[in-house]
Structure 1
Amino acid sequence: MMTERTGPVPRASERDRDQVLVRLHTAYAEGLLDDRELDERIDLVLAAGTPAELGRLAAELPAREEPAARPEAAAPGTSGRFQMAYKSRLRRVGRWRLPARYTAVLYKGGCELDLREAELSAHVTTVRVVSYKSDVRIIVPPGVRVEAGGMGVSTEVRGAPSPSAPVVHVQGIAYKGPIEVIDHLRLP
């Protein structure tokens, strides 16, 4: 895309879109947008061609400060820290590396995060989930301590882990669909 006076116009990247989508879903979860507004803006984000177009879609929403990134580099093989499903499913099973902070955003889909064979890259792992009309299931291995909170988050984990056990902290916001944290003993 070119303009006569300024030359090339930068294109919106997938990362740019993801950041705006997270902002919109957070605003929805906080009651700043209704169902219709969220649906309309998601369609516009997916069609946006430039960062300026994306910026207009969330301009009036409060900006959120993200904590400063740690100076350490991600370890080789670390999976992404952010995943999103738009009218589809996310599924992570088998051997994979879970970063210390992981975020999943779901819109009219579903998610299964099976942590039984996952390598936890930190003693305390934070899993953040924003879910709209989606079913989310997080399966934890034996011996981990689960701390969960938010809106629409339920847990059913048996056993008493040791005080030094790794911690999986689940923070969730769910609307019209559950976020369930279960252990391997509760599987059907």
Structure 2
Amino acid sequence: MSEMQMRVSDEDRERTAQQLQQAFTEGRLTHPELEERLENALKAKTYGDLLGLISDLPAEQAPATEVVELASKSGGVKRTGDWAVPRRLRCSSKYGSVELDLSKAVVPHSVVDIELDLTYGSAKIILPEGGAVNVDAFNSDWGHISTSDVPNRQRPGALYVVITGRSKYGALSVRYPRRRWFTH
């Protein structure tokens, strides 16, 4: 079975609907087009169905040349909570670690490129539920790369993070937020 024939979840349908609403807000779709595509998104059964609804829309809203740089020589780089994630992010740290929590961040792009340049530190990237990651172009000389249960294939309407760069002695960990179980 091809990926396009795989069945979608309610969350996949909702992400696609959000992307369609954003396209309407930007003036890329008329109101009748939005209504028709939203109806079809809610009835979609496969990834192919959803991709057909957004394939003529841009995947990114910011120029690919815009790069935000976060750097530290002896401390760490950390972004958590409600922060704006740029389309391209370059993080470097010689002795510290990098922690980027995207789970509660504002991410207006469907694809985010993160370049890591670490010498002695490690990196932890936390994705929102449903997000996917590609770490094929990240190299760790003496550390390990862990993506836990995070898929590496891009999915319609979901955040897709591409991580490149290197770490000489540190590790890279990509995961979803930890679930908290409360007992009453």
Give the TM-score normalised by structure 2: 0.54
Cα deviation 1:37-57 (Å, max 9, x = unaligned): xxxxxxxxxxxxxxxxxxxxx
The equivalent of 1:104 in structure 2 is 91
More displaced, 155-164 or 167-176?
155-164
Could you tell me which of 149, 168, 180 is aligned with 1:175? 168
Task: Report if aligned partners of 2:150, 2:174 keep a CA contact under 8 Å in 1.
Answer: no
State the shift of 1:133 in Å.
Answer: 0.4
Residues 142 and 87 (structure 1), Cα distance of their counterparts in 2 relative to 1, 3 Å cut: same
CA distance, structure 2, for counterparts of residue 104 and residue 151 of structure 1? 15
Give 1:121's aligned amino acid: P
Q: How is 1:14-25 mapped onto 2 (pairs within 5 angstroms)?
A: none
Kindly state the Cα deviation for residue 186 of structure 1 after the two structures are TM-superposed.
8.1
Q: Quick check: which one's strand share is greater? A: 1
The 1-side partners of 2:151 and 2:64 are apart by 36
2:139 alignment partner, one of 124, 129, 151: 151
Q: 1:151 to 1:166 in 2, by over 3 A?
A: same
Structure 1 distance, partners of 2:85, 2:118, is 19
**Greater alpha carbon shift after TM alignment, 136-145 vs 163-172:** 163-172
CA RMSD, Structure 1 to Structure 2 (Å): 2.9
Amino acid at match of 1:135: S
Contact 1:144/1:161 (8 A) holds in 2: no
The sequence identity of aligned pairs, in percent, is: 23
Q: Unpaired segments of 5 or more residues in structure 2? A: 1-61
**Change over 3 Å in CA distance of 1:169–1:159 after alignment to 2:** closer
Matched residues, number: 113
Cα distance, 1:172 vs structure 2: 2.8
Give, as a single letter, the amino acid of the residue that structure 1 aligns with 2:121.
S
Cα deviation for residue 71 of structure 1 reads: 9.0
* 4+ residue segments displaced more than 2 Å: 69-72, 157-163
**CA distance in structure 2 between the partners assigned to 1:151 and 1:96 by the alignment:** 27
- Give the distance between the partners of 1:156 and 1:121, measured in 2 at CA: 25
Which structure has more RCO (C-alpha within 8 Å, separation ≥ 6)? Answer: 2
The letter of the residue matching 1:96 is W
* CA shift in 2, pair 1:159/1:146, >3 Å: closer
Residue 87 in 1 paired to residue 74 in 2?
yes
Report the TM-score when normalising by structure 1.
Answer: 0.53
Compared CA separation, residues 91 and 119, structure 1 to 2 (3 A) = same
Q: Is the 8 A contact 1:102 1:127 kept in 2?
A: yes
Deviations 1:102-140 (A, max 9, x none): 000110111111110111131111011011000211111
What is the alpha-carbon distance in structure 1 between the residues aligned to residue 111 and residue 135 of structure 2?
13
